[in-house]
């Protein structure tokens, strides 16, 4: 019987981390189903979805994760899932959209936008932020990209109005568009 697992790892960025994790998955006779990896500052972070079969797959993954922690100085966490992962977007219950926010960097942008989305039942599927100095003035400029699944039954005009109100209060620019599934 196929079992599903979520695995996360973080550690100082260096060549070979992906190879180490892929080797662990291979050695445990598992299959890498989905992944997201990034570098934040000097740290590498990864979230993996994997599947495997066999009565001792969870034990083998646990032992392999402990070995990577010890040998490669990674912090690794994994947990079994209750069943095969499903996506509301794939079932047609949501509409994939993107929200982009830009403006002078200030505290609260992510918190306010994320709260507004959550209050409307929107699921954030990916979020990226970046703060860079403006070329002309050096003022820190903030950009946030949010990929999200919006409930199909939600009136998107209402969502747009609420987000526009938040953007106005924060004095930032905000766009909301549908994206490819």
Q: Which domains does the chain have, with CATH numbers?
A: 3-80 (3.30.70.260), 94-178 (3.30.70.260)
How confident is the model over 85-114, as a mean pLDDT? 88
From the CB of residue 105, how many other CB atoms can be counted at a distance below 10 Å?
Answer: 17
Quick check: 180 pLDDT over 90?
A: no
pLDDT 10s digits, 51-78? 999 899 999 999 999 999 999 999 999 9
Joined tokens for residue 4: 């599903």
Band of the pLDDT at 172, cuts 50, 70, 90?
Answer: very high
The confidence score (pLDDT) of residue 85 equals 85
Residue 29 near residue 53 (C-beta atoms within 8 A): yes
pLDDT over 80 (residue 101): yes
Give the pLDDT confidence score for residue 146 in this predicted structure: 97
Nearest alpha carbon to residue 174 among 110, 96, 95, 89: 110
Backbone angles phi, psi at 46, to 5 degrees: -145, 145
- Say whether pLDDT at 88 is over 60: no
- 26-35 pLDDT, tens per residue? 999 999 999 9
What is the token pair recorded at 5?
């697992």
3-state secondary structure of 55: coil
Residues written for the chain: 181
């Amino acid at each position: 019987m196929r079992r599903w697992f979520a695995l996360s790892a973080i550690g100082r960025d260096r060549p070979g981390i992906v190879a180490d994790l892929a080797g662990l998955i291979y050695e445990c006779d598992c299959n890498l189903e989905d992944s997201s990896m990034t570098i934040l500052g000097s740290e590498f972070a990864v979230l993996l979805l994997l599947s495997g079969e066999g009565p001792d797959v969870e034990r083998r993954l646990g032992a392999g994760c402990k070995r990577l922690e010890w040998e490669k100085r990674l912090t690794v966490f994994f947990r079994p899932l209750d069943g095969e992962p499903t996506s509301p977007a794939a079932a047609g219950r949501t509409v994939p959209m993107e929200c982009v926010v830009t403006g002078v960097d200030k505290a609260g942008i992510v918190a306010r936008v994320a709260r507004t989305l959550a209050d409307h039942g929107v699921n954030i599927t990916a979020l990226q932020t970046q703060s860079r100095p403006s070329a002309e003035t050096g003022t820190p400029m903030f950009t946030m990209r949010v990929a999200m699944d919006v409930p199909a039954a939600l009136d998107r005009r209402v969502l747009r109005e609420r987000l526009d109100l938040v953007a106005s209060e924060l004095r930032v620019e905000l766009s909301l568009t549908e994206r490819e599934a």
